[in-house]
Amino acid sequence: MKNSIFAEGAAYVRGRFVPIADATLPVTDWGFTRSDVVYDVVHVFRGGFFRLADHLDRFERSMAKRRIRPPEDRAAIEAILHRCVALTGLVDAYVAMVASRGRPRVAGSRRPADCENHLIAYALPWIDVVPKDVQARGAHVFIASTPRVPDASVDPTVKNYQWNDLTSGLLEAHDADFDTAVLCDAQGFLTEGPGFNVFLVKDGRVTTPDRGSLEGITRRSVLELCTELGIEAAVEPIPRSALDHADEVFLATTAGGVMPASRIGTRILGNDRPGPISMRLKDTYWRKHEEGWHRTPVRALEAEA
């Protein structure tokens, strides 16, 4: 498959499968002009989707909350994701499903209900939100001054393209020579970062914010692993000041897994390396992937015909 036209990625857009470079949208699509989109991302590890049903469940919930209904049903969406991956021949992949409001059927209409909702999907070679070498030394995480948008304005449990606050956090982080950022809300509680949930470890106890955050599938996996490993864990309010006392910090996302930090703001954690509980969770997360945890094998192209 190395030389196939799909080697760089395969997409499904406007009902057709195309090489990723040919996957384009009209500039008047509200997905573009309004960020009026919900989406989800699942990874493929060694030929198998991880927690595919959970990602499809969340995607369906996001679509329902934003009242975006593309014509494809869940079974069709699932088949499209399999086909996108199979076309690329990738065994490790980043796989996105996107539902856009689309364009008004009635020219000039400003009514969301007049729009033709549509599905986009694509598979790309594996992506790490934090590069692997940075994960190995521990990410340097900036505490952004930009507040996370209020939950009452943009529901953070709906996976969406409103990223201005998260991107501002990233710009701040890169200006200060950090790898990435976490954001607090206007009340001073920790939320999440550009593309990941955040966890703190203090005296052997693991916590993650109860607000301003996506209910991450990796976060769920981490909480399950904590139960399995006998580590106390909770989803709870975390004031920004908790970052001044945390023993360890780690980030969690589909595109990278459990990603330890070694610095948070001006603090150097431990010995400037990933902490032991973060590493235990990271190692267990990937070991269980190898053992077939929550795995759905990618169907071959012939099986889809």
Among 88, 117, 197, 208, binds ligand PLP (CB under 6 A): 197
Among 100, 117, 207, 253, binds ligand PLP (CB under 6 A): 253
Sign of the Cα torsion 209, 215, 220, 222 reads negative
> Residue 146: which of 112, 185, 178, 92 has the closest Cα?
185
Q: Does position 256 bind ligand PLP by CB under 6 A?
A: no
Q: 21 exposed, middle or buried (CB, 10 Å; 0-12, 13-18, 19+)?
A: exposed
Among 10, 41, 225, 269, binds ligand PLP (CB under 6 A): 41
Site string for ligand PLP, 213-232 (x = CB under 6 A): -x-xxxx-------------
At residue 60, what are phi and psi to the nearest 5 degrees? Answer: -65, -40
**Least Å distance between CB 218 and ligand PLP?**
3
Q: Which stretch binds ligand PLP (CB under 6 A): 61-69, 89-97, 193-201, 236-244?
A: 193-201
Buried b (16+ CB within 10 A) or exposed e, 58-74: bbbbbbeebebebebee
Rounded CA Rg of the chain: 20
Among 49, 94, 196, 293, binds ligand PLP (CB under 6 A): 196
**Nearest CB to ligand PLP, comparing residues 100 and 218:** 218
Question: Alpha carbon 298 to chain centroid distance?
Answer: 20
Summarize as ranges the residues that interact with ligand PLP (CB under 6 A). Answer: 41, 192, 195-197, 214, 216-219, 252-254
